[in-house]
Amino acid sequence: MPRFAANLSMMFTEVPFLDRFEAAAKAGFKGVEFLFPYDHSAKEIAARLEANGLTLALFNLPPGDWTKGERGLAAMTGREADFEAALRQALSYAEALRCLRVHAMAGLVHHGTSRATYVANLRKAARMAKDFGVEVIIEPINTRDIPGYFLNHTSEARAIIYEVGEPNLGLQFDIYHRQIVDGDVATAIREYARLTRHYQIANPPDRGEPDEGELNYAWLFKLIDETGFDGWIGCEYRPRRGTVEGLKWVERCGVRLG
């Protein structure tokens, strides 16, 4: 049975960020994820996790200047020092929050990216993260949600992972992004199972709850189980009618949150 982590950047936004941990736990979640923790101290977040019996499944490295449109540094040529600083900050948080996976966003092509920089930075990141017992993961993202994003296809992510060649570099398989870019989700789940360390879900076309939209998630969850996946599935969707009301998808899809 899959384990689901509430994405606190998109869910429970009815309350302030630090209060979302309690809201997620009361709703039945045992795990959480979010985009960025850096507006709060690791001590504050750790206290909320512990008080609510939650595991932190995933968060992102600092992405550069988000307000100026930056969406990651891993593939940004000339920003290697900034990437290493971001990595060190993320690993410090990961250690304090007992989080075993961090996502390194690649950046935007029109900001100056290259495959060689991406590979070199990811190799450095994986080797540094290994000392913390942390996995680094990369995620193909569709160009509708983030125009110009460097990494779009699951096949590209696989090629990068193999080229880097570090065992603690893996795939963040976002089913919503895969459906928009390439489709053929069921075949891809089977094909990339060995590399997948974390799933994320939402249903196209509106990125809402998984029980309505293009994809049959009840069936896909069973397929993920069949692959032997034992990690977390992040609920990175935008609630259509409110977070708690939207959780009716759990029963409809025949799963449990915990």
**Active site residues per annotation:** 139, 236
DSSP the chain: --EEEEETTTSSTTS-GGGHHHHHHHHT-SEEE-S--TTS-HHHHHHHHHHTT-EEEEEEPP-S-GGGT--BSTTBTT-HHHHHHHHHHHHHHHHHHT--EEE--B-BGGGTB-HHHHHHHHHHHHHHHHTTT-EEEE----TTTSTTBS---HHHHHHHHHHH--TTEEEEEEHHHHHHHT--HHHHHHHTTTTEEEEEE-BTTTTB-TTSSSS-HHHHHHHHHHTT--SEEEE----SS-HHHHTTHHHHTT----
